[in-house]
Amino acid sequence: MARKVVNRKELRAQVEAAEARGKAKAGSKEKPAKEKVAKEKKAKEPKKAAEKKPARNKVVKEARMKAYWGVFNSGMKRLALFEYADKKAADKKVQELIGSSRAHHFVQLVKEAIGD
């Protein structure tokens, strides 16, 4: 079903005519013309939006990282930590753990932040 097109100009004219009739009846209650005009101008002026402050970009301080070799079990639990230069020691530890418990263990690179 099609909707009836609303003619806003006609509706506005009807409202203004009704207001004029209402004001004519209340003639003695009208405000002085200057106040009325000033009030209408205020109502028509668009409100100014508050100025937005420029957003500051946060400077992200890059943390220094240090590399280690970690020995992990199959549940990703870190069992030992070796310096990066000691990969042979980490591999040796993995072989010891595999031989003793027959569970899967492995070596993985771990990077941790250096605290200043």
**pLDDT at 115 exceeding the cut of 90:** no
Token pair recorded at residue 25: 């009846």
**pLDDT at 97 exceeding the cut of 90:** yes
Q: Look up the pTM and report it.
A: 0.47
Higher pLDDT residue, 102 or 66?
66
H or E, element range at 25: helix 8-25
Structure letter (DSSP) for residue 94:
H
Domains of the chain: which residue ranges?
Answer: 65-113
Residues 111, 62: Cα–Cα separation, whole Å = 14
Instruction: Please report the pLDDT score of residue 71 as a whole number.
Output: 96
**pLDDT at 68 exceeding the cut of 60:** yes
What does the angle CA 29 – CA 33 – CA 39 come to, to the nearest 5 degrees?
95
Token pair recorded at residue 58: 């946060």
Higher pLDDT residue, 92 or 48?
92
